[in-house]
Amino acid sequence: MNHSVVTEFVFLGLTNLWEIQLPLFVFSFLFYSASMMGNFIIVFTVTFDDNLHSPMYFLLANLSIIDMVFCSITAPKMICDIFKRHKAISFWGCITQIFFSHAVGGTEMVLLITMAFDRYVAICKPLHYLTIMSPRMCLFFLITSWIIGFIHSAVQLVFVIDLPFCGPNILDSFYCDLPRLLRLACTDTHGLEFMVNINSGLISVGSFVLLVISYIFILFTVWKHSSSGSAKALSTLSAHITVVVLFFGPLMFFYTWPSPTSHLDKYLAIFDAVLTPFLNPVIYTLRNKEMKVSMKRVHSWLANYRKIS
Ligand SMILES: *[C@@H]1O[C@H](CO)[C@@H](O)[C@H](O)[C@H]1NC(C)=O
């Protein structure tokens, strides 16, 4: 039997004040466009420049694809909704948003761990790098991250789609997230909320701890054998660590903060929606000489191609 009478949910959005909506619109629109463009340039450069055909850059290009998908799940709707009075989303639209944000977010976490492992092998076992990170192994890691992400997401949603929703249907947010949605169900969801916090909390805190430990380990190794290559290794590592802290900071706050959602997390969510996907290309390319040189090469190659044709 289907008890549901709620067919759509209504977002309160971030604010009703026109003076804040306008800058918010400009800010989100600019950062969303910049994220899409920056990540696309990385994928394009890595694909077309043979000098960047190494495991690290393949993983980076894959991270860029994930970032483009991730910020397209919530940001476009949020941007279109900013000036609307009635910001609605259908029941299945809401479920879809939750499913993909958890699946793609989970995939990104596992991929970040793979990238840390890649750096560990490159720095601590340089002689075996190409045998350990073989194309086959990279593909295996990649497929594994997608599978883990989708399982993580499906496991929690299986229980949510059967819940009865009989109103109210107001979500104090600009996208669908599980903790808020569960509180709207007209049945006791304490067990389910606990499961979601364990599931999402475990995958985010677990990945974060694993990443921090592996980076400390790598930094320690670099420091012990400090040689000419260590400056370059340090700059790559600090880029990775910055991305990790920015990505996990807000997420861990959502899923492990004990008190029910404050207003702060609504604003923090913008970080993960548009800012982190934008920062990845900035951090990885501005700090990476090889990438910058390669972009120039691809750019001039394109210019020549246009001249010839
Ligand atoms: C993603 O990673 C796989 C495995 O290393 C690689 O074959 C593929 O080319 C990568 N994708 C991009 C866009 O670089």
As a residue count, the chain comes to 309
Query: Token digits for 274?
Result: 């548009």
The pLDDT of residue 1 is above 60: no
Q: How confident is the model at residue 4 (pLDDT cuts 50, 70, 90)?
A: low
Closest atom, ligand 1, to C-alpha of 43: 13
- Residue 301 has a CB neighbour count (10 Å cut-off) of 12
Q: In this structure, which residue's CA is closest to atom 10 in ligand 1?
A: 58
- The pLDDT tens digits of the residues spanning 41-52 come to 999 999 988 888
CB of 185 closer than 8 Å to CB of 159 = no
- Tell me which residue has its CA closest to atom 4 in ligand 1: 139
Least confident range from 245-249, 259-263, 301-305: namely 259-263
Residue 283's pLDDT is what?
Answer: 80
Q: To 5 degrees, how large is the angle CA 248–CA 106–CA 204?
A: 40
Hey, whose CA ends up nearest to atom 5 of ligand 1? Answer: 138
User: Mutate which of 47, 58, 121 to test ligand 1's pocket (most atoms within 8 Å of Cβ)?
Assistant: 58
End-to-end CA distance of the chain: 64
Ligand 1 centroid, distance to 63 Cα (angstroms) = 10
| Tens-place pLDDT, residues 200-214 | 888 888 888 888 888
Ligand 1 centroid distance, CA of 58 (Å):
5
Distance 150 CA to ligand 1 centre (A): 19
Q: Which atom of ligand 1 is nearest to the CA of 55?
A: 5
The pLDDT score that the predictor gives to residue 275 is 81
Confidence of residue 262 (pLDDT cuts 50, 70, 90): low
pLDDT by residue (tens digit) across 161-197? 888 888 788 888 888 988 888 889 888 888 888 888 8
Which of 39, 108, 138, 145 is the pocket-test mutation for ligand 1 (most atoms within 8 Å of CB)? 138
Does the pLDDT value for residue 259 go beyond 60?
A: no
Looking at residue 125, its pLDDT comes to 86
pLDDT score, position 229? 61
Per residue in 89-112, pLDDT (tens digit) is: 999 999 999 999 999 999 998 998
User: 44 C-alpha to center of ligand 1: Å?
Assistant: 11
Q: How far is the CA of 66 from the centre of ligand 1 (A)?
A: 12
Exposure class string for 19-55: b at 16+ Cβ within 10 A, else e:
eeeeebeeebeebbebbbebbebbbebbeebeebebb
Average pLDDT over residues 213-224: 83
- What is the predicted pLDDT for the residue at 102? 92
Q: Which residue has the higher pLDDT, 306 or 218?
A: 218
User: What integer pLDDT is reported at residue 161 of this predicted model?
Assistant: 86
Q: Which of 71-80, 201-210, 252-261 has the highest mean pLDDT?
A: 71-80
pLDDT of residue 137: 93
Residues framing ligand 1 (Cβ under 6 A): 43, 46-47, 58, 61-62, 65, 135, 138-139, 142
**Whose CA is closest to atom 2 on ligand 1?**
58
CA of 59 to the centre of ligand 1 (A): 6
**Which 3-state string (H, E, C) describes the chain?**
CCCCCCCEEEECCCCCCHHHHHHHHHHHHHHHHHHHHHHHHHHHHHHHCHHHCCHHHHHHHHHHHHHHHHHHHHHHHHHHHCCCCCEEEEHHHHHHHHHHHHHHHHHHHHHHHHHHHHHHHHHHCHHHHHHHCCHHHHHHHHHHHHHHHHHHHHHHHHHHCCCCCCCCCEECCCCCCHHHHHHHCCCCCHHHHHHHHHHHHHHHHHHHHHHHHHHHHHHHHHHHCCCCCHHHHHHHHHHHHHHHHHHHHHHHHHHHCCCCCCCHHHHHHHHHHHHHHHHHHHHHHHCCHHHHHHHHHHHHHHHHHHHHC
Segment of 78-92, 192-206, 271-285 carrying the highest mean pLDDT: 78-92
Range among 10-14, 136-140, 223-227 rated most confident: 136-140
Is a pLDDT exceeding 90 seen at residue 149? yes
What average pLDDT does the segment 151-165 reach?
90
Q: Would the pTM count as exceeding 0.85?
A: yes
Position 273 scores a pLDDT of 79
Q: Which ligand 1 atom is at minimum distance from the Cα of 65?
A: 13
Report yes or no: 34 and 71 within 8 Å, Cβ to Cβ.
no
What is the C-alpha separation between 48 and 61, in angstroms, rounded? Answer: 11
pLDDT of residue 214: 87
Residue-level pLDDT at 129? 92
